[in-house]
């Protein structure tokens, strides 16, 4: 029978950090699982026992024990992965956010509030950014902006002369009696 693969702690602070991480309810689930792998290996469980207890493959157990031995607690963090490069540059994302925070009237546009379609057309025509409305929505949500909250029915009227054009109130509307204090 092969000897159990055991993780080694370099210091008591490292051991405390692993124990806290293994009990954590707020840390990412992957990090907690990896810390449990290290603790179980330290207790003398075999790779097969750890894999069965945590429901992972034995190769996964070996990988995380070896990475912990080489790098310590930092070895339990995911490495950066290669992936598709960002479609839009930071400057383009900044232009989307800046345009969404600017009132359309300040840009000389004939409407009072943005919609995703209007914002898409504006960015494509004036900024030269060919961006879809779904991507605009994703960017605004990622920045913590909600464009719908800024669009109201009871704000300033788009027409400054609205009150003059509207005229007096209807005579059929009863006057409200005011309470005397």
59-82 pLDDT, tens digit per residue, is 999 999 999 999 999 888 888 888
In a domain, 85, yes or no: no
Would you say residue 41 lies in a domain?
yes
- pLDDT tens-place string over residues 4-22: 688 888 888 998 999 999 9
Say what the pLDDT of residue 23 is: 92
Question: What value does the mean pLDDT take over residues 86-92?
Answer: 90
Do 25 and 72 have their domain in common?
yes
Whether residue 23 is found in the same domain as residue 64: yes
* 32 and 71 belong to one structural domain: yes
Any domain includes 179:
no
pTM, 2 dp: 0.49
Q: Is residue 32 part of a domain?
A: yes
Question: What's the pLDDT tens digit per position in 45-65?
Answer: 999 999 999 999 999 999 999
d(CA 122, CA 97): 13
Torsion of CA 89, 94, 95, 100, to 10 degrees: 140
What is the longest distance spanned by two Cα atoms in the chain?
A: 99
Q: Locate tokens 């504006």: which residue? A: 122
Q: Considering the domain boundaries, does residue 163 fall inside one? A: no
pLDDT value at 143 more than 50: yes
Expressed as residue numbers, the domain containing 108 is 90-152
Spatial contact of 122 and 106, defined as CB atoms under 8 Å apart: no
């Amino acid at each position: 029978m092969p000897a159990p693969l055991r993780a080694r702690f370099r210091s008591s602070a490292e051991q405390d950090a692993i124990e806290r991480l293994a009990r954590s309810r707020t840390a990412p689930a992957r990090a907690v699982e990896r810390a449990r792998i290290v603790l179980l290996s330290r207790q003398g469980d075999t790779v097969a026992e750890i894999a069965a207890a945590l429901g992972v493959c034995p190769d996964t157990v070996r990988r995380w024990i070896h990475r912990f031995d080489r790098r310590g607690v930092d070895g339990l963090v995911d490495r950066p992965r290669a992936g598709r490069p960002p479609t839009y540059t930071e400057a383009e994302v900044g232009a989307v956010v800046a345009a969404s925070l600017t009132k359309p009237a300040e840009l000389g546009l004939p409407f009072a509030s943005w919609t995703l379609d209007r914002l898409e057309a504006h960015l494509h025509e004036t900024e030269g950014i060919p961006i879809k409305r779904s991507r605009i929505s994703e960017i605004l949500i990622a920045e913590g902006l909600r464009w719908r909250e800024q669009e109201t029915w009871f704000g300033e009227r788009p027409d400054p002369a609205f009150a003059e054009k509207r005229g007096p109130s209807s005579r059929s509307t009863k006057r409200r009696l005011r309470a005397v204090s």
